[in-house]
Amino acid sequence: MSHRKKVEELEKIRDHIERSELSEEEKSDSFKRIEEWYAEDKAFGTLYEKLAEISPAVETLLAELGLI
């Protein structure tokens, strides 16, 4: 799944949580976790780009590992 698609999925989850009947504390905790997931996903994208600069074989390796 592309980074953009993952971000869209996280935004969709966030919107549903906002409209849910969860308590404000539960919503806040959920939003914090979504922000963490977004940061982790963004970090992986940055890591991938930096590794790809080292060698084009990295993409093949990551694909074999099921990471992209």
Task: Give pLDDT tens digits for 48-59.
Answer: 778 778 777 777
Query: H or E element: which one contains 56?
Result: none
Distance CA 30, CA 20 (A): 11
No. of H helices and E strands in the chain? 3, 0
Residues 6+ apart with CB under 8 A from 13: 34
pTM over 0.85: no
Distance CA 43, CA 18 (A): 25
DSSP, collapsed to helix, strand or coil, labels residue 66 as coil
Task: Give pLDDT tens digits for 1-41.
Answer: 666 777 788 889 889 999 999 899 999 999 999 888 888 87
